[in-house]
């Protein structure tokens, strides 16, 4: 079990859903920093430290990416594929967090080397449980290779 | 003359032969007789003379002694030896002094007075008698004179004898001939008679006779020739008989009707098939005119030379008309012409022909309707035969070229050739598909099946197959697939985008419970806000979904409306946001439009809404609305100087549920909706933007709304 807090990049276009994740992370004090971007373009800009994220201090490398599938500008799947085909970024685990339970989406996600696929539950209690488990699993239990930039 | 020879001609050969022989013999005898008689008569004188001289000499010599001795008795006896001669009628001996010494007279002779004195010696012919006077001498001494008188009596006797003999001979000959006739009969006239009676029998019809050949002469030759002839005749007759029988058999059993008519077209022969065909017994038909059965055109044909008449109409006894095929042959006979007509009832055949024709027509029509062609390929020659529709499917006029397997391959789309080759090699194949390129360059999809045709030995001789032009079907399939895909996308999108707000609602309800319990008013307000906006979103989403589903049907009846009217309405609907954002709106131009008014209005409303929504930080927000005529098209535009659109995403903007800005209000349906409407009016829509902060210009065409309105000609009055 690791103790160091890590950075989480949340890629989510729905403000309400982003709010839910934020609140949960606060509750469970999981992350050091939760960075929220609104679409696929921003997500890649962040990871490549370009555009409005050129300042590396403001854009620390995330330890895990929470990725919604349906995103404006650049689709979630495309973001996933870009990350996983880049030798520099592909070690970052990408967890799909989406409302879609469609089989096709799951297949495509795993085919593109998604590390996990989570479906947002419609039930409040379940969502809370999920967030908690998510936090503990990925941030507490899961181990990462040492990355010097990881602050 | 004629009559006489006619009469003679009637005599039998027997009689003729007999008469010939007889006449010949008798004629020759007569000639002989005449010859002899003639000879006699012509030579009797000299003969007599000679005889008398010799006799005289003899008598003289013999009588000399008698005279010498004056022996009158012996002299008388010596003279009496003249009895032996016929010709001496009288003889007298005179002494030297001339006195009658002895005399002789032929028996039966009329007494002839002796000349008293003998004349001078010598011969004297007088009046049919010959007188000889000579001397009788002995040792040179005349002793006396001899007088002889000869007459014709002997000649006459002789002649009489000749005639008698001849007469007898004639009789003998006659009798002999009669006897000879018997022989003749046997060797000549009997065989001839036999021959002639045989001939009679043959003439009478009995061909079985043969004549015995008994001799090697002309009669024998005749007999054997006769036999040969009668044999030949018998054969000819047999052949004739056979032919006749065969012909009769043919006529009787022929399935076609055979009718023979004379020059006046009266029926002489009406075979059983004719009886059946015309439903008239032969007895009824014979003697009547053929016009009853084959009217009118037959007349012309009757005058024509023989041959096929082609198709005519004939009539049965009961009047029913039916189609026939007929042919005529003409035979010239003594006293005129015989026409033989052979008739075939083709009503069945015609029915079948019509049925086949109708069936073919149906097939052809079916082919055309179904865009279906069939073909056959001969495996030996690689020659193909195509149906008319097959030609059309491939873009050729029927029959315009001779298809071969090789040439066909050239028609197959390059990418499909291998597939095609494999299918062809396999022989039997069901429903394999390939593309062809028509001569005019268009692409067609074909579905083909093939089947191997074999001969009796089981060897494959041909490929038979069908083509079906399945291009339209393919297109429809593709369209359907597209529609299905779109539906799937749609459903997917819908479920996702409906689910999202639902998750929000339930989760924030949970938070709300917590926050109400803890009394955190700030949080409560936030929670409620999220819940409300999520619910609203769901509402809007459902409305727009309904709208989308309705887009497929333009439910309002088309009306004529001006461009300005629509713009005014749209601006009114967005008035709030416009004034809030302080947007300047410029409208130019006017034209008539014809279509579903609310839908058309929606197009501008959505565009204006978007323009206002995406003004961003623009200090002097401005929207321009109008249209331009470019390249023969009327292109409408809505231009803004707002945040613009990243050119990379210019296409995506029109996608279903695509929002380029997550934070913005709206469901992302607006532009997809507009695109649908524009497409329904056969138009297209696109956006031009140089990028972030450079504004954007949406352009679209709606040709379908400009039809029914002479847009160029009419310009409504500008307000």
Question: What are the helix (H) ranges across A29-149?
Answer: 40-47, 76-85, 103-111, 124-134
Q: Do A13 and B649 touch (CB under 8 A)?
A: no
Q: Do B492 and A19 touch (CB under 8 A)?
A: no
For B441-591, list the strands marked E by DSSP: 443-454, 460-469, 559-562, 584-587
Q: What angle do CA B29, B33, B34 make, to 5 degrees?
A: 120
- Least CB-CB distance to A99: which of B500, B659, B661? B500
Q: Do B496 and A70 touch (CB under 8 A)?
A: yes
Residue B712, pLDDT score? 44
**Interface probe, candidates B535, B662, B691, chain A, greatest A C-beta count within 10 A:** B662
Q: Do A100 and B509 touch (CB under 8 A)?
A: no
Reduce the DSSP state of residue B503 to 3 states and report it: helix
Q: Which residues of A touch B492 (CB under 8 A)?
A: 100, 102
- Specify whether the CB–CB gap between A68 and A97 falls below 8 A: yes
In B, what residues contact A, Cβ < 8 A? 492, 495-497, 499-504, 506-511, 526, 530, 533-534, 646, 649, 652, 657-663
Which residues on adjacent β-strands are paired with residue B576? none
Please give, rounded to a whole number of angstroms, the shortest distance from the CA of A124 to a CA of chain B. Answer: 4
Dihedral of alpha carbons B657, B661, B663, B666, sign: negative
Q: Find tokens 């011969």 and name the residue.
A: B123
Q: Find tokens 């109409």 and name the residue.
A: B313
Q: Which residue of B has its CA nearest to A131?
A: B507
- Which whole-number Å values give the CA distances from B107 to B77, B113, B448, in the listed order? 14, 15, 153
Non-local CB neighbours of A139 within 8 Å, separated by 6+ positions: A2, A5, A6, A8, A30, A31, A63, A64
In terms of Cα–Cα distance, which of B114, B50, B123 is closest to B79? B114
- The C-alpha atoms of residue B553 and residue B400 are separated, in whole angstroms, by 46
Tokens in use for B295? Answer: 């009217």
B609, containing H or E segment: helix B597-613
Q: Is the pLDDT of residue A118 over 50?
A: yes
Residue B54, pLDDT score? 87
- Specify whether the CB–CB gap between B100 and B94 falls below 8 A: yes
- Give φ, ψ of B703 to 5 degrees: -55, -35
Q: Which residue of A has its CA nearest to B498?
A: A99
Q: Do B492 and A120 touch (CB under 8 A)?
A: no
Burial class (CB in 10 A: 0-12, 13-18, 19+), B109: middle
How many C-alpha atoms does B26 have within 13 Å on its Cβ side?
15
- Specify whether the CB–CB gap between B44 and B87 falls below 8 A: no
- The C-alpha atoms of residue A127 and residue B615 are separated, in whole angstroms, by 37
Non-local CB neighbours of B310 within 8 Å, separated by 6+ positions: B325, B326
Reduce the DSSP state of residue B605 to 3 states and report it: helix
- Specify whether the CB–CB gap between B386 and B404 falls below 8 A: no
Predicted complex ipTM: 0.86
Please list the ranges in chain B whose pLDDT falls under 50: 711-713, 719
Please give, rounded to a whole number of angstroms, the shortest distance from the CA of A146 to a CA of chain B. Answer: 34
- Specify whether the CB–CB gap between B318 and B279 falls below 8 A: yes
- Specify whether the CB–CB gap between B119 and B98 falls below 8 A: no
Dihedral of alpha carbons B409, B411, B417, B421, sign: negative
Q: Which residues of B touch A15 (CB under 8 A)?
A: 530, 662-663
- Specify whether the CB–CB gap between B431 and B473 falls below 8 A: no
Tokens in use for B529? Answer: 């806000």
- Least CB-CB distance to B662: which of A13, A123, A128? A13
- Specify whether the CB–CB gap between B104 and B80 falls below 8 A: yes
- Specify whether the CB–CB gap between B430 and B410 falls below 8 A: no
Q: Is the pLDDT of residue A114 over 70?
A: yes
Please give, rounded to a whole number of angstroms, the shortest distance from the CA of A38 to a CA of chain B. Answer: 6
For A1-151, list the strands marked E by DSSP: 7-11, 33-37, 64-67, 94-98, 116-119
Q: Which residue of A has its CA nearest to B510?
A: A124
Residue A82, pLDDT score? 94
Q: Do A73 and B663 touch (CB under 8 A)?
A: no
What is the b/e burial string over A41-71, where b = at least 16 CB atoms within 10 angstroms of the residue's CB?
Answer: bbbbbbbeeeeebeeeeebbbbbbbbbbbbb
Rg (CA), chain A: 14
User: pLDDT tens, B289-310?
Assistant: 888 888 765 555 555 556 777 7
Please give, rounded to a whole number of angstroms, the shortest distance from the CA of B479 to a CA of chain A. Answer: 22
How many C-alpha atoms does B358 have within 13 Å on its Cβ side?
6
- The C-alpha atoms of residue B422 and residue B566 are separated, in whole angstroms, by 62
Please give, rounded to a whole number of angstroms, the shortest distance from the CA of B490 to a CA of chain A. Answer: 13
User: pLDDT tens, B122-162?
Assistant: 888 877 788 888 888 888 888 888 888 887 777 777 778 87
Reduce the DSSP state of residue B520 to 3 states and report it: coil
Please give, rounded to a whole number of angstroms, the shortest distance from the CA of B550 to a CA of chain A. Answer: 26
- Least CB-CB distance to A122: which of B503, B534, B646? B503
Q: Which residues of B touch A100 (CB under 8 A)?
A: 492, 495-496, 499
Residue A151, pLDDT score? 41
- Specify whether the CB–CB gap between A95 and A67 falls below 8 A: yes
A and B: number of Cβ contacts within 8 A = 73
> Residue B578 region, left (φ>0) first, then alpha (ψ -120 to 50), else beta?
alpha
> Residue A42 region, left (φ>0) first, then alpha (ψ -120 to 50), else beta?
alpha
**Interface probe, candidates A10, A11, A14, chain B, greatest B C-beta count within 10 A:** A14
- The C-alpha atoms of residue B583 and residue B577 are separated, in whole angstroms, by 8
- Specify whether the CB–CB gap between B197 and B210 falls below 8 A: no
Total Cβ atoms within 10 A of residue A18: 20
Q: Is the pLDDT of residue A136 over 60?
A: yes
Total Cβ atoms within 10 A of residue A99: 24
Task: Work out the average pLDDT over A122-128.
Answer: 87
- Least CB-CB distance to B510: which of A72, A102, A125? A125
- Give φ, ψ of B93 to 5 degrees: -110, 135
Q: Which residue of B has its CA nearest to A103?
A: B492
Q: Do B663 and A102 touch (CB under 8 A)?
A: no
Residue A67, pLDDT score? 95
Please give, rounded to a whole number of angstroms, the shortest distance from the CA of A100 to a CA of chain B. Answer: 6
With bands split at pLDDT 50, 70 and 90, how would you rate the model's confidence at A3? low
Task: Work out the average pLDDT over A70-94.
Answer: 91
In terms of Cα–Cα distance, which of B566, B546, B543, B565 is closest to B555? B546
Residue A150, pLDDT score? 46
With bands split at pLDDT 50, 70 and 90, how would you rate the model's confidence at A77? very high
User: pLDDT tens, B489-498?
Assistant: 778 777 778 8
Find the farthest-apart pair of alpha carbons in chain B and give their distance in angstroms, rounded: 249
Residue B719, pLDDT score? 45
């Amino acid at each position: 079990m690791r103790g160091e807090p890590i950075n989480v990049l949340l890629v989510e276009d729905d403000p309400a859903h982003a709010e839910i994740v934020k609140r949960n992370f606060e509750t469970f004090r999981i992350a050091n920093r939760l960075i929220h971007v609104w679409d696929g373009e921003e997500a890649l800009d962040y990871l490549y430290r370009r555009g409005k994220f050129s300042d590396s201090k403001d854009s620390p490398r995330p330890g895990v990416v929470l990725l919604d599938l349906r995103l404006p500008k650049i689709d979630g799947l495309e973001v996933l594929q870009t990350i996983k085909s880049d030798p520099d970024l592909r070690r970052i685990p990408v967890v799909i967090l989406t409302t879609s339970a469609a089989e096709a989406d799951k297949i495509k996600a795993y085919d593109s080397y998604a590390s996990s696929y989570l479906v947002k539950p419609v039930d409040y209690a379940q969502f809370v449980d999920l967030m908690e488990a998510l936090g503990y699993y990925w941030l507490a239990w899961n181990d990462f290779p040492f990355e010097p930039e990881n602050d | 003359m004629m009559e006489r020879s006619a009469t003679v001609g009637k005599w039998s050969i027997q009689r003729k032969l007999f008469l010939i022989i007889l006449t010949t013999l008798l004629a020759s005898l007569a000639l002989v007789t005449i010859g002899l008689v003639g000879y006699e008569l012509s030579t009797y004188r000299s003969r007599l003379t000679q005889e008398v001289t010799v006799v005289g000499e003899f008598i003289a010599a013999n009588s000399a002694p008698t005279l010498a001795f004056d022996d009158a008795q012996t002299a008388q006896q010596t003279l009496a030896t003249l009895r032996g001669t016929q010709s001496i009628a009288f003889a007298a001996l005179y002494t030297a002094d001339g006195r009658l010494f002895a005399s002789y007279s032929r028996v039966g002779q009329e007494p002839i007075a002796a000349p008293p004195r003998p004349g001078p010696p010598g011969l004297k012919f007088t009046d049919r008698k010959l007188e000889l006077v000579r001397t009788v001498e002995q040792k040179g001494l005349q002793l006396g004179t001899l007088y002889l008188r000869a007459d014709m009596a002997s000649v006459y006797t002789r002649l009489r004898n000749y005639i008698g003999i001849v007469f007898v001979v004639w009789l003998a000959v006659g009798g002999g001939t009669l006897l000879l006739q018997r022989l003749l009969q046997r060797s000549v006239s009997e065989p001839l008679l036999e021959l002639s009676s045989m001939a009679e029998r043959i003439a009478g019809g009995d061909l079985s006779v043969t004549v015995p050949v008994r001799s090697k002469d002309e009669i024998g030759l005749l007999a054997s020739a006769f036999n040969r002839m009668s044999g030949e005749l018998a054969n000819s007759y047999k052949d004739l008989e056979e032919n006749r029988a065969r012909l009769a058999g043919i006529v009787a059993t022929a399935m076609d009707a055979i009718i023979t008519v004379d020059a006046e077209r009266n029926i002489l022969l009406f075979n059983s098939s004719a009886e059946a065909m015309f439903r008239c017994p032969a007895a009824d038909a014979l003697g009547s005119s053929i016009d009853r059965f084959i009217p009118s055109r037959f007349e012309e044909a009757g005058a024509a030379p023989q041959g096929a008449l082609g198709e005519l109409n004939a009539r049965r006894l009961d009047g029913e008309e039916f189609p026939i095929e007929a042919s005529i042959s003409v035979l010239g006979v003594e006293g005129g012409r015989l026409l033989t007509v052979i008739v075939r009832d083709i009503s069945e055949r015609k029915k079948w022909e019509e049925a086949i024709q109708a069936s073919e027509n149906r097939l052809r029509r079916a082919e055309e309707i179904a865009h279906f062609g069939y073909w056959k390929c001969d495996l030996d020659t690689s020659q193909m035969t195509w149906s008319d529709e097959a030609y059309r499917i491939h873009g050729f006029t029927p029959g315009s070229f001779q298809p071969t397997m090789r040439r066909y391959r050239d028609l197959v789309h390059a990418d499909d050739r291998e597939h095609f080759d494999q299918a062809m090699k396999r022989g039997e194949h069901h429903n394999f598909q390939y593309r062809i390129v028509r001569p005019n360059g268009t692409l067609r999809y074909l579905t083909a099946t093939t089947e191997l045709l074999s001969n009796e030995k089981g060897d494959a001789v041909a490929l038979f197959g069908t083509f079906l032009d399945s291009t339209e079907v393919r297109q429809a399939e593709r369209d359907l697939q597209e529609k299905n895909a779109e539906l799937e996308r749609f459903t997917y999108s819908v479920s996702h985008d409906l689910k999202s707000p639902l998750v929000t609602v339930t989760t924030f309800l949970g938070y709300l419970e917590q926050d109400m319990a803890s009394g955190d008013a700030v949080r409560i307000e936030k929670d409620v806000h999220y819940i409300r906006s999520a619910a609203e979103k769901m509402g809007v989403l459902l409305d727009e979904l309904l709208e989308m589903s309705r887009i497929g049907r333009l439910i309002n009846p088309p009306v004529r409306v001006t461009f300005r009217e629509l713009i005014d309405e749209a601006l009114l609907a967005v008035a709030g946001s416009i004034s809030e954002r302080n947007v300047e709106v410029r409208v130019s131009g006017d034209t008539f439009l014809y279509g579903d008014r609310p839908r058309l209005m929606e197009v501008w409303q959505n565009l204006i809404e978007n323009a206002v929504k995406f003004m961003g930080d623009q200090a002097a927000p401005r929207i321009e609305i109008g249209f331009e005529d470019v390249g023969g098209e009327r292109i409408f535009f809505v231009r803004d100087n707002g945040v613009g659109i990243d050119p990379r995403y210019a296409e995506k903007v029109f996608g279903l549920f695509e929002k380029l800005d997550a934070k913005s209000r709206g469901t992302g349906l607006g532009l997809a909706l507009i695109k649908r409407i524009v497409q329904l009016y056969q138009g297209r829509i696109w956006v031009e933007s140089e990028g972030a902060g450079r504004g954007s210009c949406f352009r679209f065409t709606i040709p379908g709304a400009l039809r029914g309105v002479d847009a160029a000609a009419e310009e409504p009055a500008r307000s």
